[in-house]
Structure 1
């Protein structure tokens, strides 16, 4: 079952190649996966780093003539890599299961194989849901009984940049009904004022833990609220729980936990510290747990934001299946890259449109 070492090395050295799949036959299932590198349309800068690429691993899961597509996306700051995903996937053995409909047992087994590795686990989860939807011949949002017309408009992300580049990025995002703005450095007010000089669309501010002082954070929250910023995402470091709770109690706009909220078990303790949570498939191991997180947040009277990493339309379309449960959607990851391999969810005039295809709704370009 384990791939030969020399095969693994040759694949890793050809990370954007269109072939070179690693195959595992596992009873009625077959898994294959390969690395791929996403190319960003612009340098992507947030409070703590900049990058121009995102490594991903593409996965396919076969069962009785059906194929489900999955993806692990690994922005380097999360600690996963193509090598770590390959190492995790080599441990997976689905031969003990007879059907993809053993979803809860399969995903519990996968989750228990090793701690962390959430993007690798998400790749299997997404492929499994895609496979099940194809067998049932239904889009997965319909399997869940959700209404695709209730998906909120997606924001489009404007990274930290120069005044000229911000103007260019805002112009490129002219059809979007909300912009997500990266903040957290000394240029925060310049960025907002530059955007406000060219558009009055609502904004959401993602600080990526960039503000360290609660009084500064509260001052900024008030200043931003006056400029039609509708919420703050992770305004201060996640380990400053008391400061974040202090801010949430006083802020004129909601606060959303991102880095502070990874998985389902994190959610209950965040009530009162933040107004809501940002759910991302790559943080929480995939669609199944993401839906559980959204439902739990709702039960706790918390807001729900559905986010993403830089991803192909595979993972983005998977997340979009549960977007009707969200107050806000930030599903622009595939729009930030120039080499998407899939056709899936489309954005028109800032609105998400799911294709009426089974599973997560994607097809490989060229198929």
Structure 2
């Protein structure tokens, strides 16, 4: 049988994080440890308020599980199916258990997780995210991110042109743009896309509200830049119709219920000729380490959720000059996690 331990945690950000939908300085996290025989596996649920999960709901989900269903990591397909049927939603806490199960599997099989998925070890050029802020602060953040190959710029407020001007005052790096559903007029969105194409932008993530289906169909047929679904693409079912609204999808473990479904989403996206972006929330090195093992499947990588925090309890894959270097540790790749020394913050 598999046993579960949990620790509520508050992950603090180095800077105020602003997007079109609001601002915050921390993220509620539920850290999870699974034990099976002599092995320990680690996972986490990152729960930004936007998605409706809390430490309380995550704890309740785990508390009501039928522990007899948690037989062995080797039965992972059966277990994740049970988790999904246990209660609707709760995708982040499901991801936490899924990640820890995969960590156990890698350790039992004595392989880093990318080998379990039969994927090559690849150096991953992650973008560095710059939130919405004043021009002065944005210039400072961009200069701090000088070692990264790509910058991810948050737009969708009322100062998009000011933000891009500030970025271009100090950097000519290629940009990923994330509007976080902030553009509400399709014609204006199309005009912004044409403007941003001239600013060395690679793609636009979630330009319009996720339920603006007709507007997104109109926009995707006319856009001169790839449009990537994030809030509009949560799980495997969403991928089946994604090409009606987007040119690609952003896969995040906290949305997909973990690695098992994320891997299926990536395979389905490839079969449909959709581009793949691998993204994250504000996360510790645990969830980032797990997601990085799927990096070889991605066209673009945005796995910097552990780089802008002050109290990451773990150490995972190294980031050198903007590149994530997968280590050879079995499982997800955490280096000597010391569970007992992690202080509960909530």
TM-score interval, normalised by the smaller of the two chains: over 0.9
Question: What are the superposed Cα offsets for residues 108-150 of structure 1, whole Å, 9 maximum, x if unpaired?
Answer: 011110000000100100000000101111001011111122x
Kept in 1, the 8 Å contact 2:69–2:82? The answer is: no
* CA deviation after TM superposition for structure 1 residue 97, in Å: 4.5
Contact 1:140/1:359 (<8 A) preserved: yes
1:109 matched to 2:82? The reply is yes
Give, in whole Å, the separation in 2 of the partners of 1:88 and 1:31. Answer: 12
Task: State the secondary structure of the residue aligned to 1:133.
Answer: helix
Asked if residue 243 in structure 1 is aligned to residue 215 in structure 2, the reply is yes
- Looking at structure 1, the residues matched to 42 and 292 of structure 2 have their Cα atoms a distance apart, in angstroms, of 15
Contact 1:280 1:306 in 2 (8 A): yes
**What is the CA distance between 1:347 and its match in structure 2?**
1.4
Q: Which secondary structure does the structure 1 equivalent of 2:181 belong to?
A: coil
Unpaired runs of 5+ residues, structure 1, are 1-27
Q: Show the counterpart of 2:121.
A: 148
Task: Tell me, yes or no, if structure 1 residue 177 matches structure 2 residue 149.
Answer: yes
- Which residue of structure 1 lines up, in the alignment, with residue 73 of structure 2? 100
- 1:353 and 2:305 are equivalent in the alignment: no
1:1-367 alignment to 2 at 5 Å? Answer: 28-149=1-122, 151-364=123-336
**Superposition TM-score, scaled by structure 2 size:** 0.96
Q: 2: CA distance between counterparts of 1:92 and 1:100?
A: 16
Alpha carbons 2:69, 2:79 under 8 Å: kept: no
RMSD (Å), alpha carbons: 1.1
Contact 1:94 1:106 in 2 (8 A): no
Alignment coverage as a number of residue pairs? 339
Mapped partners of 2:147, 2:106: distance in 1: 32
- Which runs of structure 1 show a deviation greater than 6 angstroms over 4 or more consecutive aligned residues? none
For 1:4, the equivalent position in structure 2 comes to none
Instruction: Return the offset for 1:364.
Output: 4.7
Question: SS of the counterpart of 1:342?
Answer: coil
Which whole-Å CA distance do the structure 2 matches of 1:92 and 1:156 have between them? 37
8 Å Cα contact 2:124/2:325 also seen in 1:
no
**Structure 2 counterpart SS, 1:51:** strand
Q: Is the 8 A contact 2:280 2:304 kept in 1?
A: yes
Q: Which runs of 5+ in 2 are unaligned?
A: 340-346
| SS class of match (2:245) | coil
Show CA shifts across 1:43-95 (max 9, x none).
00000100000000000000001000010000011100000000001112332
Aligned CA distance change for structure 1 residues 328 and 81 (closer, same or farther; 3 Å): same
Q: How far did residue 270 of structure 1 move?
A: 1.4
User: Partner of 1:24 in structure 2?
Assistant: none
Match of 1:120, SS state, is: helix
Please give the TM-score of this superposition, normalised by the length of structure 1: 0.91
Deviations 1:144-183 (A, max 9, x none): 111122x541100000001111011011101000000000
CA apart distance, 1:261 = 0.4
